[in-house]
Amino acid sequence: MSRKYFGTDGVRGRVGEFPITPEFAMKLGWAAGRVLSQRGTRKVLIGKDTRISGYLLETALEAGLIAAGIDVRLLGPMPTPAVSYLTHTFRAEAGIVISASHNPYYDNGIKFFSANGSKLDDEIERAIEAELEQPMVCETSEKLGKAQRIEDASGRYIEFCKSHLPKHMSLSNFKIVLDCANGATYHIAPNVFKELGAEVQTIACSPNGLNINEKCGATHTAALQQAVVELGADLGIAYDGDGDRVMMVDHTGRQIDGDEIIYMLARSAKERNRLTGGVVGTLMSNMGLELALADLGIPFARSSVGDRYVMEMLLEKGWRIGGENSGHVLNLDHAGTGDGIIASLQVLASMIDTGLSLADLSHGMTKLPQVLVNVKFEKGTAPLENLHVKEVIAGVEAELAGQGRVLIRKSGTEPLIRVMVEGREQQQVQDFADKIAAAVKLAS
């Protein structure tokens, strides 16, 4: 059965438009409380990123949960992976993150974590959706939940992150520029790296509720690339608004994306005889990653797009490392969900182990030219079902003749059709992507 409200990453949309309204958020909190309470839950953590609408949605969710008899623990601004970790350590039965990740400030979303810090199963999400169809009924006064703010949440998470750099290692020889996307890592990441000894410079580290992800962070690394070169830093690290994505920049100013980070971590694990099985990427992972891993004798598998599907395949295969080129990096030996800070610390540990710069460490993988074009579509249209669109896609695939890939899909979080073309020659790939995108736009 398909889900009505939950997408690949919780409930998401534009603030003030259904379903991201205070009324729906309160009903969602109540419905989640009702479903979770049937499983013994009586305590739920709520964290958020720095966008201004977080105040509104936090209060609405809190009211709904309390009405269902659930005790609420408020974390304040906190990276998504921190909420996952704290849900587990505080022994809460669920955690909620209010965030639209890498999206602009005017979007927001609500996603849930289970007691062990993983994303909720589809079965529970469907049960919550079913409860949403029922009239909201408040518990009697003696059964209402209570709310409490957790004051030391950030300190706990900082220590957790620091524990993932081996004790014999120090970052004292590194000058690092951090881009926190004016998001949830702004008060976490700088302290982690400073306390581990690094000289830290920051950009996009002054959130005002409206500047999250604005020309900064993991989705816009140009400012970080410039800062690394101008400041003579060893490397730069960019997180997205909620801290579960990471991009890196070497000392020359070159961007290192999620595929390259995954490659470096997998190669390091294999060299230390700590690699279990292979690596899981997605349909969007660059073919260069697959070829580079094959050269190392490391198996590679592709899941559907979305870190939840990478996680599902990792668990199914019993493997530990995977992720997406967008910067979601999973290493289940270190964290139970994608964690940008921990992933970047793992790369730094490998740099210390090998004595190599980030630029040298990333050698061994050559990315094939890949172009991604996003095309907005109107609700009610089905451009991917259009005959002309199908004909154009088939024509491009025929011209690639097995020397590249075409992937067309709907975004799980935005009203976009994502057109991806990959091949041997940059200009050809760009022309093919533009050709398909034009057909999609015409059909939208």
- Catalytic (active-site) positions: 101
Helix (H) or strand (E) holding 374: strand 370-376
What the block records as the tokens of 254 is 């070159």
User: Residue 177: phi, psi to the nearest 5?
Assistant: -105, 125
User: Residue 111: phi, psi to the nearest 5?
Assistant: -135, 155
Q: Is 269 left (phi over 0), alpha (psi -120 to 50) or beta?
A: alpha
Q: What are the distances in angstroms from CA 66 to CA 34, 112, 221, 355?
A: 10, 16, 41, 53
Q: What do you get for the CA distance between the two ends of the chain, in Å?
A: 27
Beta strand 199-203 with 175-179 is parallel
DSSP 327-354: SBEEETTT-SS--HHHHHHHHHHHHHHH
Residue 379 burial by Cβ neighbours in a 10 Å radius (0-12, 13-18, 19+): exposed
Is residue 308 a contact partner of residue 286, using CB atoms and an 8 Å limit?
no
Is residue 102 a contact partner of residue 213, using CB atoms and an 8 Å limit?
yes
Helix (H) or strand (E) holding 392: helix 387-400
Give residue 193's identity as a one-letter amino acid code: F
DSSP 108-123: EEEEEEETTSSBPPHH
In the numeric block, the tokens 């990740």 are attached to 101
User: Residue 48: phi, psi to the nearest 5?
Assistant: -150, 165
In the numeric block, the tokens 């039965």 are attached to 93
- DSSP class of residue 106 equals T
